[in-house]
Structure 1
Amino acid sequence: MSKKYNLSFIAGIVGFLFLFLISVCGPWVASHFLTEKMEVGSILVDGEYMLRTPPLSPFEYKDFLLGTDRWGYDILSKMLNGARYTFFVSLTIAGLRTVLGGLAGLYLGMRSSVPAWWLAIEDAASYLPAFLVVYFILLPLSMNSPLTIGYLVILLILLVTGLGIPAAASSIRKKTNEIKKMDFIEASKSLGAGKSRILFKHIIPQLRDPIVVLFLTEVVAVLTLLGILGLFNIFVGGTEVQYDDDNIIFLSITNDWAGLTGQARSNLQYNRWILFMPLVGLLLMIGSFSLLVRGWKQRIENLYKKPPWI
């Protein structure tokens, strides 16, 4: 029988490693500084002088591979510098949600009964749109904020983490209750195993795969939330507001990919690459973690699937 490869998991791992390298090494491999604009002038092309002005289209010039925005800033360099904020902030929030929510869910799942007030919190959190809470809290704090980038990033992490803990705890609590009802748990109790032994020897090992799936799912959820916030001018690390004639311009201070996408949405009809380049990067990040979720679930199915009778 030919071996079947878990293509979703492989593709997700490749995408994850690629994004990790970009996030770590991006600022050092960027070909332009963030404050460096392209020089407007004539260049020699096929024996003729041509005027080069921003915005430049992608793949037209080697020194500006993904083109420039309308001010002449290199899009690729901005994305390489901002990738770390999108990538690591999402991982941090998802990790905190998983750890804190997992501990709370494990504790509640081991109890004989769950407090009514906690069930009320879980129900309220499931109906409460996290976007609205984050938006209205960060809106007055993000626009031309006197606060530092680090402070705004930490505030975003704490706020989004707190809103996601009840859902994560609910997932682990319900899974713990399912495991407690399994036959091998009852057998361990009949042999005299105490709560501590059952917890560390049986329940926690059974929760390993659900916790991994929960973490990866949380990353996708956080990236999606950041993308929605970006469309409403709430960017990771703060928003710089500028005024150009009668127009108001919102700029991402950190150049996070959700922010670059949000600030470029006015380019949907003209100069579309200014919008599509960071949008493709953001979708690639979401897609990589979605493939990891699917691949890990497929791995679990293949691992625990019963072999056919021969």
Structure 2
Amino acid sequence: MKIVKLIVFYLLGIVAILCVSVFPQYFSTRGMPDTTGYFQQLFSFLVEFLNPNQWLYTVFGSKGEFPIFEVLWEPFIYSMQILLGALGLGFFFAFWLALGATFLPKIVLNLVKRVLDFLESVPDLIIAALLQMLAIYLLKVSGIHVFRVASYTEKVYFAPILTLSILPMVSMFKILLLMIEEELLKVYVVFLKSKGISAFGILMKHVLKNIMPISFHHMKLIIWGALSSQFIIERIFNIHGLTYYLLESFTPMTIAFTLILIFTPFYFFFQLFELWLKEENALIHRLSGKGTWKKWKFQRVKSLVSIIKEWKIPSIRPWATAVSITRLFAQHMKNWKFALGCLFFIITISYSLIYSGTTDNHVNQVRLLYEEDGVTLIGKAPFPPPEPFLFGSDSLGFSIFDQLVIGAKYTLFFALLIAFLRVFTGLLFGTIYAFRLKPHTQLWVGRMVDSIHFLPLSLIAYILLAPILLPTMQGFSYAFTERILLEILILTILVVPLTTVLLGKEIKVVLENEFISSAKVLGGNGFHIFWRHVFPHIGPRLTILFGQQFIQVLLVFIHLGVFNFFFGGTLMTFGMDADPPRSMTYEWSGLIGQIGRTGLASGRYWYLWTMVAFMVSIFAMQFIIQGVKEVQQMKVGVLYKLPKKKKRHHKCRDTSSTNQVQHITKDRFIRKKSS
């Protein structure tokens, strides 16, 4: 029965891939006189897909047709060698570094954690670019050819594997370190220490054994991120892997087989491993067993009207809710990390709006720079800083500083908006998932959504956005507003299933508490329980999830920018003397494409200002996340903040004066608080 379920979910994943594969063709043909509807095109493609004779690899403008497996199999093996090599290298170092960091002093360990936070904020593109610059610099200075920075006639392995392994190593290192610290606080560790077992023996024989199943689940998210990063790494290092052949033949058949080749091995590996761990039976037994969940589960939804009637949504008081949110925000602003992160976004977006309003989005441009006499030519674009522009210029002579300022409102605001929509929609459907679906249905939904982890997010976004953001010689297929709305919708929907299941499980954990049972006994309906009891508990988690989604959206912007997919559309000129593609809105990924084309190998170091802007934004969001965590830990008592001692200076003429200064000590503060 388990094998049958495994195959059924695999076939459902294949069907989803086939549905996605038709979207580029549908979007690109929309509006043409002979266009057909999406479902008609999907049905035609399904008929073609079921015929093995139609499994052909074709390139637009070429008459040649080749069996698709013969073309894609070797690039697939090449891409998997790089990916598996990077994951193996990253996980190997993460494992041993986590073991070694466990025995470090607390001061050194805190420093290691700060370094990990920094490395996790560095985009994979900048790591690849800096690695290329390092190799070229060493070659020029010492004449030593350390490694090849691009693939031409021979395959390159070292540079892409090293670049791709850094982020998985950092992520797994942080996860292992956190779980080891939590496991060492448990009671059985104290018991083992009392028996004289060494710390190393406890770590190797007991702690690692307990954290490995949980680490296995985190590997899915890490591999999901690595798959998206590989999509960019192959482009930067000119690797002729799956990405290269996908872009050469962007047909529904090639898209479908590319995604199926990526999806199949990871799906069966993780699903078979989960069957071996017997986690499915444990989950079913816990959800359907006799307990609080079974006792207090809500009735199944019969219609949307019944939901609205039962939950009494109109009883919400908007003014009171706004006041509560304002007070909560003011409370968090007392944390300097949260305040610093929020002020960055507020000041940056506001300055961008003011600058755009006063200059009408004007960007200074200098293609040729002359001396003061107006005759002697100094140079041509691109120009390094500080002349004629503070941050230098791009290849067309446009000021990078002006583009960063004007594009800040588009990059940051819409990234915040997409992250908010992901969390809000996920919370909406996650509430229905936790309150309304039966345990068996929840299990099926979770297993279906789990398959999304095996498809690279950036690759799916590329497939869906290609016919929307890129113009043809006849112009764009969609208006400017339509392009923005479609991109927001696509980037939101791609992650909503994952946030739905994630938040649904968070809500279920809260519903199993005893105070939920008491609220149900006192007559609280579903909406009251959610709004008054569940939401305050998951509120900090929502903020953290919002920050994580914001960072992920910025990374997707960077990845799409490498392929000249810019927010709002890409301006392109055609012909022999065509200018490089640039962004219509000057959003920050518009300069990423130039980094992707040159890889900074040409020495244009000032292009890194764009990456610095992305990194500072990620740091600011990490500050907000850390601030929320600290405020929450202060509430529950994990962190303790001693009031500052007030110093008072009194000029007393008489030493026997009764004016005595009372200092607040830690003991007095605790006694006063408890009374």
TM-score by length of 1: 0.84
Do the aligned partners of 1:66 and 1:74 also contact (CA within 8 Å) in 2? yes
Q: Which is worse superposed, 157-166 or 259-268?
A: 259-268
Output one character per residue of 1:263-294: Cα deviation in whole Å (capped at 9) or x when no partner.
34316033524421111112211221122112
Q: CA deviation at 1:38?
A: 5.6
| 1:249 match: secondary structure | coil
Q: Does residue 228 of the first structure (1) align with residue 559 of the second (2)? A: yes
Q: Is 2:383 the counterpart of 1:56?
A: yes
Q: Are the counterparts in 1 of residues 366 and 381 from structure 2 also a CA contact under 8 Å? A: no
- Higher strand proportion, which one? 1
**Which one-letter code corresponds to 2:624 in the other structure?**
L
SS in 2 for 1:40: strand
Q: Distance in 1 between matches of 2:428 and 2:514?
A: 24
Instruction: Indicate if the aligned counterparts of 2:384 and 2:604 stay in contact, CA closer than 8 A.
Output: no
Conservation of the 8 A alpha-carbon contact between 2:345 and 2:412: no
Task: Give the one of 366, 372, 375 matched to 1:43.
Answer: 372
Distance, in Å, in 2 between the alignment partners of 1:270 and 1:195 is 61
Q: Distance in 2 between matches of 1:55 and 1:204?
A: 52
Indicate conservation of the 8 Å contact 1:258/1:279, yes or no: no
Match of residue 412 from structure 2: 87
Deviation at 1:41, TM superposition (A): 2.1
In 2, Cα distance between the equivalents of 1:297 and 1:113?
Answer: 32
1:211 maps to which residue? Answer: 542
How many Å apart are 1:226 and its aligned residue? 1.0
| Alignment check: 8 A CA contact 2:461 2:491 kept | yes
Query: Which of 586, 589, 600 matches 1:268?
Result: 600
- In 2 relative to 1, CA 23–172 (structure 1 residues): closer, same or farther, beyond 3 Å? farther
Report 1:1-310 matches (<5 A).
Answer: 6-28=335-357, 33-34=362-363, 36-37=365-366, 40-43=369-372, 51=378, 53-61=380-388, 64-111=389-436, 113-114=438-439, 115=441, 116-144=443-471, 145-146=475-476, 147-242=478-573, 249-265=580-596, 266=598, 268-305=600-637
Structure 2 residue runs of 5 or longer lacking an equivalent are 1-333, 641-669
Which residue of structure 1 lines up, in the alignment, with residue 78 of structure 2? Answer: none
Shift of 1:242: 4.0
How far residue 252 of structure 1 moved from its aligned partner, in angstroms, is: 2.1
- Counterpart CA distance in 1 for 2:362 and 2:526 is 58
Distance 2:353 2:579 in 1: 33
Classify the secondary structure of the residue corresponding to 2:494: helix
Q: CA deviation at 1:245?
A: 5.6
Give CA-to-partner distance per residue, 1:138-175, whole Å, 9 cap, x none: 22332225133322221111101001111111121111
Distance (Å, rounded) in 2 between the aligned partners of 1:257 and 1:81: 9
Amino acid at match of 1:305: G
Go from structure 1 to structure 2 and tell me whether the alpha carbon gap of 1:50 and 1:229 turns closer, same or farther (over 3 Å shift).
closer
Deviations 1:112-132 (A, max 9, x none): 625255224321233332211
Aligned-partner Cα distance in 2 for 1:211–1:173: 12
Larger Rg over CA atoms:
2
Contact kept? 1:23, 1:87, Cα under 8 Å: no
Moved more, 22-31 or 186-195: 22-31
* 1:32-89 Cα deviation digits (max 9, x unpaired): 8237436632127xxxx8836433322334xx22122233221111222212221121
The 10-residue stretch of structure 1 (16-25 or 242-251) with the greater mean CA deviation from structure 2 = 242-251
Contact 2:592 2:610 in 1 (8 A): yes
Shift of the alpha carbon at 1:101?
0.9
Instruction: Determine if contact 1:105/1:169 at 8 Å carries over to the other structure.
Output: yes
CA shift for structure 1 position 96: 1.1
Mapped partners of 1:254, 1:234: distance in 2: 12
What is the rounded CA distance, in whole Å, between the counterparts of 1:212 and 1:173 in structure 2?
Answer: 16
| TM superposition score normalised by structure 2 | 0.41
Distance 1:86 1:299, change over 3 A: same
The Cα RMSD (Å) is 2.9
Shift in Å, 1:238: 1.6
Whole-angstrom distance in 1 between the partners of 2:357 and 2:526: 51
Moved more, 86-95 or 256-265: 256-265
SS in 2 for 1:58: coil
Task: Sort the Cα spacing of 1:188 and 1:101 in 2 relative to 1 into closer, same or farther, 3 A.
Answer: same
Mapped to 2, the partners of 1:26 and 1:283 lie a distance apart of 22
Aligned-residue identity in percent: 26
Q: SS in structure 1 opposite 2:565?
A: coil
Asked if 2 retains the 8 angstrom alpha-carbon contact of 1:105 and 1:172, the reply is yes
Which amino acid in 1 is paired with 2:386?
Answer: F
- Contact 1:267/1:274 (<8 A) preserved: no
Structure 2 CA distance, aligned partners of 1:60 and 1:209? 47
Which of 1 and 2 has higher RCO (CA within 8 Å, sep 6+)? 1
- Distance in 1 (CA, whole Å) between partners of 2:447 and 2:352 is 39
Deviation of the 1:14 alpha carbon: 3.1
- Label 1:70 to 1:128 Cα distance change in 2 as closer, same or farther (>3 A): closer
Provide closer, same or farther for how the CA distance between residues 67 and 307 of structure 1 changes in structure 2, counting only shifts above 3 A: closer
Partner SS state of residue 43, structure 1: coil
Distance 1:307 1:149 in 2: 49
More helix per residue: 2
| Contact kept in structure 2, 1:101 and 1:169, CA below 8 Å | yes
Unaligned residue ranges in structure 1 (runs of 5+): none
Deviation, 1:18, is 2.9
